[in-house]
Amino acid sequence: MRTLIVDEKGNLSVQEIPEPAYGECQALVKMLSCGVCNGTDMKLIHHSFKNFDSYPAVLGHEGVGRVVAVGGKVTGLHVGDMVLLPFLERETCGYTPGWGAYSEYAVVGDAESYTANGMGEGTKEWSEGYLAQTVIKPADKVDAVGAAMIITFREVLSAIRWFGFQPNESVLIFGAGPVGLCFTKFCKLLGLKTVITTDVMDDKVEGARRAGADYAFNSAKCDIDAEVKRLFPDGIDYVVDAVGINALKKEEGEAHSQIMACINQGVLDPMDFISDVIEFEHILDAFALVEERRPSTKKIVIRYGE
């Protein structure tokens, strides 16, 4: 199969490696899409991801795929299921998994069969990633491209819960990229009274307004401290750095049903947050686009042929 590799110098290339092996409690997945993460992916490329120094590496962690084969003890997954977060788990041909979802095939674990076979939470084999892996139901109103956005939605919603945001409070969000726009949207959906979002590009500031920000400022053209103090002389409740966010895997899984309810009810459209869909054959172009820092770029999603 083909996969995306980053080498020791940060150079990207598409290479051939064997399809991944999968265990009795796992499933083999054919990839359908993978979102480009401006945080994790770019940090791995630029060697700035904390505690990761094993190169060359296989990239990609916002993947969506379809189950094509299951292990003998799998009970919670079925051939044909569309699932989130397939990964490569093992080093292959000298390539270290940097999660590895920019591959034509990957693997998911079945939490149900892990638990039934004594490999559940608290054991060495258990991983928080399995808690966050979720099946997209046929009735869910999202396709494979839109489903790639669900991973960012879940990260953001779980972070909001972890931070303890409450209705009628106020928040200042720095950054109006894909993560910042998600924070803006969810804060309004969850009833925060005042959402202020900033960016250094006018197009992204306008995008924040469309996402529901009560106030949106270009921080390169104004004094943000002064603007916030004018609006909130006694201080604001929360400040969010939305340039990057660490995943909260267990909380992500718990947030999934709320995310899907919002999508299925039509109050949250994943495509509003996606600016470009690029075929896997042109994946190198996608990363060149990220490096351009084009103002209109939001989430970029890589699409694989079924």
When divided into structural domains, the chain yields a total of 2
Average pLDDT of the segment spanning 27-32: 98
Specify the pLDDT at position 245.
46
Which residues contact residue 253 at a Cβ distance below 8 angstroms, ignoring those fewer than 6 apart?
A: 131, 132, 133, 134, 154
Structure tokens at 153: 């939605």
Specify the pLDDT at position 251.
66
Residue 38 sits in which domain range?
A: 2-136+270-303
Average pLDDT of the chain, as a whole number: 90
Are 242 and 187 a contacting pair, CB within 8 Å?
no
On whether both 231 and 281 belong to a single domain, the answer is no
When pLDDT is cut at 50, 70 and 90, the band that residue 187 belongs to is very high
Average pLDDT of the segment spanning 144-157: 94
Structure tokens at 239: 């400040």
Are 61 and 96 a contacting pair, CB within 8 Å?
no
Average pLDDT of the segment spanning 148-153: 94
On whether both 29 and 130 belong to a single domain, the answer is yes
Q: Which of 65-74, 177-186, 288-297 shows the lowest per-residue confidence on average (mean pLDDT)?
A: 288-297
Is residue 47 situated within a structural domain? yes
Which residues contact residue 106 at a Cβ distance below 8 angstroms, ignoring those fewer than 6 apart?
A: 20, 29, 31, 63, 65, 86, 87, 88, 100
On whether both 8 and 125 belong to a single domain, the answer is yes
On whether both 299 and 177 belong to a single domain, the answer is no
CA–CA separation, 281 and 8 (whole Å)? 23
Sign of the C-alpha dihedral computed for residues 20, 26, 30 and 35 taken in this order: negative
CA 2 to chain centre: 22
Q: What is the pLDDT of residues 112-147, one digit of tens each?
A: 888 888 776 655 444 455 556 789 999 999 999 999
Specify the pLDDT at position 133.
72
On whether both 187 and 281 belong to a single domain, the answer is no
Residue 64 is which amino acid?
V
User: What CATH number is attached to the domain comprising 196?
Assistant: 3.40.50.720
Q: Which of 65-74, 177-186, 238-247 shows the lowest per-residue confidence on average (mean pLDDT)?
A: 238-247
Last residue of a domain, one of 225, 241, 257: 241
CA–CA separation, 78 and 192 (whole Å)? 40
Is residue 291 situated within a structural domain? yes
Q: Cα torsion for 178, 179, 181, 185, to the nearest 10°?
A: 130
